[in-house]
Amino acid sequence: MSPALNLRPILFVLGWLLTVLGAAMLIPVIVDLADGNRDWTSFLASAVITGFVGVSLVLTTRGMPLVLRRQQAFLLTTLAWVTSAFFSALPFMLSDYRLDLADALFETVSGLTTTGSTVMTGLDEAPPGLLLWRSLLQWMGGIGIIGMSMVIFPFLRIGGMQLFKTESSDTSSEKILPSVGRLGIAIGLVYLGLTVLCLLAYWAAGMSGFDAVNHAMTTLSTGGYSTHDSSFGYFEEVSIHWIAVIFMAAGALPFALYIGAIMGKPTLLLRDRQVRAFLLFLVLVCLSIALWLTATQDIPFDEALTLASFNVTSVVTTTGFASDDYSLWGGYVVVFMFLLMTVGGCTGSTTGGIKMFRLDIAVKLFGSYVRSLILPHSVNVPFYRGTPITDDLARAVLLYIFMFAASCVALSVALTLFGLDALTASTAAIQAIGNVGPGLGPVVGPAGNFATIPDGAKWLLSFGMLLGRLEFFTVLVLFSRRFWVA
């Protein structure tokens, strides 16, 4: 390893991260104690172990200037997610559920990346502390994803994210840690405020207090974990489903624009090209599938609109809730859902997928190329948000989309080696890379569960979830020899 790579700032940040994670584990301790469930001991032991490691790292690395350069940022981003996942898995392994390492890590990676795939069954009878921990993982993962997409990825120029470079991600000085603190406070307040609003809305619509707390956290984070095996199929109130639609969509919008709206620019959201494209796309797809259900399934339009809006919004925002098994809605819907799993929401949100801005840029590049074929001597410069799309930006966006597709294909092929059929393997791969949650079919579909797939496939899917959430190059660059000798 190159002596130029200073690990102390990385270990210092990891120490604080584990300290916060250990403190968060005390919340399920209180819940299980109040419920009289003996699983509180597993959370207490996990909190002590995690907190001890975290505090030790902080104390042994403090006093250094908090300067994080590009090479360190790549390594820290990956290590932060991997380390958090391993320590977050402790309660699952120590609790009465006694998940093995493959299952526990799958559950925590799925939680922290807000994917929402699960290997747990019997959720309706599960200890409340464990259910709350799953929701907390998604909620904490969501705020980490927002901060990463607003600060780290623009700093690293991943997948065209340099387009959203702000003062907090300024690469001229390569000093980003002080900015993270200021931005984190602003994001945290907005995130917490929207979560509380969602919680109150759920509770007012008829959810129990415990369900409202859990589902508010997993809705706004677009995570998709539920306290019930049947997910949102458990709730019969139509108002609860529409509240979920609103807040899933809210979690898919850029949080930077929420901050701008609070600071006196309320029209920023509606004027943003990415937001308008996302909302228009969402409305059109919901209407299309609602009309299909009415025409082919003899479902009244109002009921069809609720079913379509909830499940389409859940898939497009990569939340992963389900109110019905849409795998049974017909070939048109299955193909549509297969494609929707790749889309995602807006950048700077909690969603996974390719993201709307990249798809928009790809369409503009395609249009520019077609115009150049028709009028070869004309000057065709595509623009996005009033800014010319440079060759560097175009290359980054198209390479990201290629990596997304290539990773899905490679993971699909690898999963078939463990005996998974083509539909299960392909949709499991796409949902992992896109951080969606359920796939399609009886095994991993909305009515299925990942508990029955082989452990080797779970390890591959866990890696796929991390790879997709960290936008590929953040992880893959670590396997390059040039990275370590730079």
318 is in an annotated binding site: yes
Selection from 164, 170, 167 nearest residue 149 by Cα: 164
d(CA 243, CA 53): 40
Sign of CA dihedral 25, 28, 32, 38: negative
Selection from 323, 326, 332, 327 nearest residue 292 by Cα: 332
What is the pLDDT, as a whole number, of residue 64?
66
Q: Which helix or strand (DSSP H or E) is residue 388 part of?
A: strand 387-388
Residues recorded for the chain? 486
Selection from 359, 356, 350, 360 nearest residue 435 by Cα: 350
CA atoms within 13 A on the CB side of 240: 22
d(CA 208, CA 206): 6
What is the pLDDT, as a whole number, of residue 1?
44
Give the helix ranges, DSSP H, for 342-480.
Answer: 356-374, 391-416, 422-433, 455-469, 473-476
Q: Which helix or strand (DSSP H or E) is residue 10 part of?
A: helix 8-24
What is the pLDDT, as a whole number, of residue 4?
60
Selection from 42, 51, 68 nearest residue 16 by Cα: 51
Beta bridge partners, 388, equal 383
Two structure tokens written together for 210: 């415990």
d(CA 167, CA 169): 5
Write the DSSP symbol of residue 161: G
CA distances from 467 to 57, 81, 138, 393, 462 (A): 26, 11, 17, 21, 9
Do 461 and 439 touch, CB atoms closer than 8 A?
A: no
What is the pLDDT, as a whole number, of residue 174?
44
Beta bridge partners, 387, equal 384
Do 164 and 347 touch, CB atoms closer than 8 A?
A: yes
181 is in an annotated binding site: no
d(CA 401, CA 255): 23
Provide the 3-class DSSP secondary structure of residue 384: strand
What is the pLDDT, as a whole number, of residue 177?
47
What is the pLDDT, as a whole number, of residue 65?
64
37 is in an annotated binding site: no
d(CA 119, CA 82): 19
436 is in an annotated binding site: yes
115 is in an annotated binding site: yes
Give the helix ranges, DSSP H, for 252-381.
Answer: 255-262, 268-271, 273-297, 301-316, 331-340, 356-374
CA distances from 1 to 4, 478, 480, 485 (A): 8, 12, 12, 7
What is the pLDDT, as a whole number, of residue 29?
97
What is the pLDDT, as a whole number, of residue 167?
43
Phi, psi of 89 (to 5 degrees): -75, -15
Residue-level pLDDT, tens digit, the chain, 486 residues? 445 677 888 899 999 999 999 999 999 999 999 999 999 999 999 999 999 999 999 999 887 666 677 788 888 889 999 999 999 999 999 998 889 999 999 999 999 999 999 999 999 999 999 999 999 999 999 998 887 777 777 766 666 566 555 444 444 434 444 455 677 788 889 999 999 999 999 999 999 999 999 999 999 999 999 999 999 999 999 999 999 999 999 999 998 888 888 887 778 888 889 999 999 999 999 999 999 999 999 899 999 999 999 999 999 999 999 999 998 898 999 999 999 999 999 988 999 999 999 999 999 999 998 998 988 878 788 888 888 888 888 998 999 999 999 999 999 999 999 999 999 999 999 999 999 999 998 999 998 899 999 999 999 999 999 999 998 888 888 888 777 776
What is the pLDDT, as a whole number, of residue 160?
59
Give CA angle at 479 (477, 484), nearest 5°: 80
50 is in an annotated binding site: no
